[in-house]
């Protein structure tokens, strides 16, 4: 199917799904949207493209947003989307800070399917110390996106948290993961050696629908909904309190349902003390939720960042010692984002047949580090494809697409950076899809009919 036809079909499916949600049959939909008789079925089936005017009209007369009717673009129909080094070079632009050239940016592989914004960045500012207050350092104001950074060469990394500035001298193989809106900067410690970073920014679940919803709800509501992770003892309390609010449960009622004393129920709901394992079970039962719903994530970030130096990074072979295809090295990450994983892959296998496919549920970004080319092969839609990637080439890989790396020539040990992130398909969504009635999955991804017949 042509990409354009596929887009039209998915737009039609969204229109049908919206009409179903609002309990409109074709005739009602046509009347309310001012469409000619018999045309709604054509729009919904994708044989007639949904127009901007139709979306505008639907958003006017129905309680929905234009965005609800807009499908995503599929710019990766082959399963993998490659950006060649020379395309990256062609996208290069120098950005000035304080009126002087500060960074050279180059785009690397991106896709509309995933919220990655991966940039190769060269530091143009050279410093001679590790002083975070060096006036040569130009700080940004921080940005919404989370940032995973991989360092190549003598790069100084600066970050500021709660008004305190830090500088960490980095070298090739070091990496860092950072929280949104923390000001940061990078400089080079050498006028001759290349000093670059791969700055892989991504929004995760903060972007998209959540951001739009909160932008409408406003500041005060967003602040009220925010759950701080500071103060470990308070962690489960926030969720217990939320579920009590949701179910209009009083402390007395919680005590009654759990069999705990009123004082203990009060303590747990207040977050002054964390519940013990048995109490968690009792609370989950009483509130009609799963234990996991009461638990807060943990974070290893100190002052907004999690640093991983190459010298103490864990490394192991995959899939096993007997026939190792890759040496894996774990790069920076944080438990706050359990579905983000960063790896450096040293390719050990000489041919695809001696290598092993890697598959994950995440969106994948890869960048060829070092000086050696690599053969990338993958399977998608019943087709097997093989491409040689040169140093500086990068690619986006769709979830669940098995990719295999092998030396492009015997003995040439390529090195690849892999950053894997989950998109909007959170565990909640995966469980929800997994519990649909028979036939539900096909209809969820492309509803094409009335909900009754």
Around Cβ 423, how many Cβ atoms within 10 Å?
20
Least CB distance to Fe ion at residue 201 (A): 6
Nearer to Fe ion, 186 or 378 (CB): 186
Least CB distance to Fe ion at residue 140 (A): 6
Least CB distance to Fe ion at residue 254 (A): 44
Name the DSSP letter for residue 358.
B
Rg (CA), the chain: 26
Binders in 313-372 for Fe ion, by CB under 5 A = none
Phi, psi (5° rounding) for residue 53?
-65, -40
| Cβ-based neighbours of 39, under 8 Å, separated by 6 or more | 30, 48
Q: Are strands 305-308 and 315-318 parallel, antiparallel or unpaired?
A: unpaired
Nearer to Fe ion, 166 or 443 (CB): 166
**Residue of 440, 450, 419, 399 whose CA lies nearest to 113:** 399
Q: How many residues bind Fe ion (CB under 5 A)?
A: 1
Least CB distance to Fe ion at residue 149 (A): 8
3-state secondary structure of 144: coil
Give me the 99-138 binding string for Fe ion, x by CB under 5 A, dash otherwise: ----------------------------------------
Least CB distance to Fe ion at residue 121 (A): 9
* Residue 409, CA distances (Å) to 390, 412, 413 in order: 12, 6, 9
Residues 392 and 85: their CA atoms lie apart, in Å, by: 5
Nearer to Fe ion, 147 or 341 (CB): 147
| Cβ-based neighbours of 213, under 8 Å, separated by 6 or more | none
Residues 41 and 34: their CA atoms lie apart, in Å, by: 14
Nearer to Fe ion, 147 or 415 (CB): 147
Nearer to Fe ion, 107 or 256 (CB): 107
Give me the 137-156 binding string for Fe ion, x by CB under 5 A, dash otherwise: ----------x---------
Least CB distance to Fe ion at residue 47 (A): 45
User: Nearest residue to Fe ion, using CB?
Assistant: 147
For residue 413, how far is the Cα from the chain centroid?
A: 29
Q: Is 100 exposed, middle or buried (0-12, 13-18, 19+ CB in 10 A)?
A: exposed
Nearer to Fe ion, 139 or 318 (CB): 139
**Which residues sit opposite 132 in a β-bridge?**
none
Least CB distance to Fe ion at residue 101 (A): 17
Least CB distance to Fe ion at residue 226 (A): 22
Nearer to Fe ion, 203 or 237 (CB): 203
Nearer to Fe ion, 52 or 181 (CB): 181
Q: In the complex, which residues of this chain contact Fe ion (CB under 5 A)?
A: 147
């Amino acid at each position: 199917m042509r990409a354009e036809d596929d887009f039209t079909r998915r737009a039609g499916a969204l229109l049908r799904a919206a009409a179903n949600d609002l309990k409109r049959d074709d005739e009602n939909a046509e009347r309310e949207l001012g469409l000619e008789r018999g045309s709604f079925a054509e729009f919904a089936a994708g044989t007639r493209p949904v127009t901007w005017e139709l979306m505008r009209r639907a958003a006017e007369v129905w309680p929905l947003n234009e965005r609800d009717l807009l499908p995503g673009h599929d710019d990766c129909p082959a399963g993998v989307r490659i950006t060649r080094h020379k395309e990256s070079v062609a996208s290069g632009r120098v950005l000035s800070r304080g009126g002087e050239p500060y960074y050279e940016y180059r785009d690397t592989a991106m896709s509309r399917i995933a919220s990655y914004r991966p940039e190769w960045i060269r530091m143009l500012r050279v410093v001679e110390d590790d002083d975070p207050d060096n006036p040569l350092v130009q700080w940004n104001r921080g940005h919404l996106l989370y940032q995973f950074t991989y360092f190549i060469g003598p790069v100084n990394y600066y970050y500021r948290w709660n008004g305190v500035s830090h500088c960490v001298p980095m070298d090739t193989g070091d990496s860092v993961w950072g929280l949104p809106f923390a000001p940061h900067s990078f400089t080079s410690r050498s006028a001759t050696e290349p000093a670059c970073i791969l700055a892989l920014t991504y929004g995760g679940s903060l972007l998209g629908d959540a951001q739009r919803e909160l932008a409408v709800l406003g500041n005060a509501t967003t602040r009220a909904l925010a759950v701080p992770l500071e103060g470990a003892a308070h962690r489960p309390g926030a969720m217990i309190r939320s579920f009590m609010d949701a179910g209009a449960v009083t402390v007395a009622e919680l005590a009654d349902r759990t069999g705990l004393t009123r004082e203990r129920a009060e303590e747990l709901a207040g977050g002054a003390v964390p519940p013990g394992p048995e109490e968690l079970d009792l609370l989950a039962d009483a509130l009609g939720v799963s234990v996991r719903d009461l638990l807060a994530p943990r974070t290893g970030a100190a002052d907004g960042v999690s640093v991983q130096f190459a010298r103490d990074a864990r490394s192991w072979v995959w899939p096993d010692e007997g026939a190792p295809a890759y040496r894996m090295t774990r790069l920076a990450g944080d438990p706050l984002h359990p579905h983000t994983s960063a790896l450096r892959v040293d390719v050990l296998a000489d041919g695809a047949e001696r290598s092993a496919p890697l598959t994950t549920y995440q969106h994948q970004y890869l960048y060829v580090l070092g000086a050696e080319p690599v053969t990338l092969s993958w399977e998608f839609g019943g087709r097997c494809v093989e491409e040689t990637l040169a140093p500086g080439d990068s690619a986006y890989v769709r979830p669940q697409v098995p990719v295999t790396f092998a030396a492009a020539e015997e003995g040439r040990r390529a090195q690849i950076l892999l950053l894997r992130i989950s998109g909007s398909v959170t565990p909640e969504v995966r469980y929800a899809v997994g519990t649909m009635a028979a036939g539900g999955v096909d209809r969820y991804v492309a509803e094409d009919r009335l909900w009754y017949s």
